[in-house]
């Protein structure tokens, strides 16, 4: 009697694996959904910067940091759970949400939040990828082992969201009478634009999103132009 075409044990084994894979995905989705809620709350709070004068930033940023704290807690759980499995197998599931979370941290820090004892917060501070990793308490750009981490792409994509937000803030800060902030944003975005120009981008999501940086540059340049026409650019004492 010849052996059967398919070993009966094989079916059970594969079925079990597929079901296990499915339940991992469900558990991940639960955590990601939770992270998503915290992120969207924090993003919501951050939209208030467009109508808040700089003198009232501290109170607003404290609220933002409260949201970020929840984001960090959930990210820690995500990190612990997903590190049991190959990172690149599932990372596409949380990529977008994590980017948004990183963006809230970057923006909050740029506005002067996320200060620590060693590094007090100040307006215009850009957290590096490594610093973002420290905030989240996870490794970055991991190569030597397979675990949860923040990738370069996620950092850069988050940075692009921050640039878009800041270009909007440049306009609104003028409305609020804070022309100095608009000029500072303009300089920051132009510097970053120079940085993005240096990347050799392939035809992927990063290239697509990077295109929006130049529109942000144009937007802030228009604001600065309007200001300079009317002699509203503040002179810098430092120069």
Partner 1 sequence: MDEAPAPKRTKIVCEDTPKKSIDNSTGKTMSGFKRDRHGNEKRFDNGPRPAPKPKVAVVRNAYTPMFEQLRDELDAHHDRRDRLGKVSRDVTGLSKKIVRTINPDLPPQIQAEVDSRLAEISKLLAVMVPDVQGINRHRYSRSLMCLEELAEALTFAHYLKTQTLLKPEELSAFVEELTRKGGAAVSEGKEKDKDEPMPDAGNTPAPAASGDQETTTESDPKPAENEQQQQQQSKPEPPIMSTTEDDYFYGVFDLSGEMMRFATTSTALTGKMAGAEDERTIVEDMHELGSFFEMLPMKAGDKKQWEKKLDVMRQSVRKVERLGYDRKIRGSERPQGWVPDLTVDQPGEEEE
CA distance 120 to 183: 22
Rank residues 21 and 73 by Cβ distance to partner 1 and give the closer one: 21
Q: What token pair was written down for 70?
A: 């929840």
Going by the DSSP 8-state scheme, the letter that residue 204 receives in this structure is: S
CB of 48 to partner 1, least distance (A): 26
Q: Are 174 and 182 in contact (CB under 8 A)?
A: yes
Residues that bind partner 1 (CB under 8 A): 1-7, 10-11, 13-15, 17-19, 21-22, 25, 80, 83-89, 126, 128-129, 141-147, 152-153, 155-156, 191-192, 194-202, 218, 221, 224-225, 228-229, 231-235
CB of 63 to partner 1, least distance (A): 28
CB of 89 to partner 1, least distance (A): 4
CA distance 236 to 239: 6
CB of 202 to partner 1, least distance (A): 5
Rank residues 29 and 73 by Cβ distance to partner 1 and give the closer one: 29
Rank residues 176 and 232 by Cβ distance to partner 1 and give the closer one: 232
What number of CA atoms fall less than 13 Å from residue 88's CA on the CB side? 6
Q: Which helix (H) or strand (E) holds 229?
A: helix 205-229
Rank residues 13 and 40 by Cβ distance to partner 1 and give the closer one: 13
Q: Are 184 and 124 in contact (CB under 8 A)?
A: yes
Backbone angles phi, psi at 81, to 5 degrees: -70, -50
Rank residues 6 and 59 by Cβ distance to partner 1 and give the closer one: 6
Q: Are 187 and 181 in contact (CB under 8 A)?
A: no
CB of 217 to partner 1, least distance (A): 9
Residue whose structure tokens are 């977008």:
96
Alpha helices in 53-178 (DSSP H): 57-82, 87-110, 129-136, 152-175
Rank residues 111 and 224 by Cβ distance to partner 1 and give the closer one: 224
CB of 126 to partner 1, least distance (A): 7
């Amino acid at each position: 009697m010849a052996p059967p075409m398919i070993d009966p044990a094989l079916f059970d084994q594969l079925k079990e694996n597929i079901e296990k894979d499915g339940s991992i995905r469900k558990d991940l989705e639960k955590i990601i959904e939770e992270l998503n809620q915290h992120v969207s709350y924090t993003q919501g709070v951050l939209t208030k910067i467009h109508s808040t004068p700089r003198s009232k930033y501290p109170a607003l940023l404290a609220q933002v940091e409260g949201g970020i704290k929840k984001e960090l807690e959930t990210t820690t759980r995500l990190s612990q759970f997903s590190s049991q499995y190959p990172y690149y197998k599932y990372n596409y599931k949380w990529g977008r949400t994590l980017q948004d979370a990183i963006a809230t941290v970057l923006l909050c820090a740029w506005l002067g939040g996320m200060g620590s004892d060693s590094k007090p917060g100040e307006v215009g501070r850009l957290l590096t990828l490594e610093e973002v990793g420290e905030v989240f308490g996870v490794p970055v750009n991991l190569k030597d082992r397979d675990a949860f981490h923040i990738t370069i792409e996620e950092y850069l994509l988050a940075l692009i969201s921050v640039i878009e937000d800041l270009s909007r803030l440049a306009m609104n800060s003028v409305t609020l009478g804070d022309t100095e902030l608009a000029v500072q944003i303009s300089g920051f975005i132009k510097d970053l634009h120079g940085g993005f120009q240096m990347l050799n981008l392939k035809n992927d999501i990063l290239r697509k999103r990077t295109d929006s940086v130049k529109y942000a540059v144009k937007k802030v340049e228009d604001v600065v132009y309007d200001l300079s026409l009317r002699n509203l650019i503040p002179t810098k004492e430092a120069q």
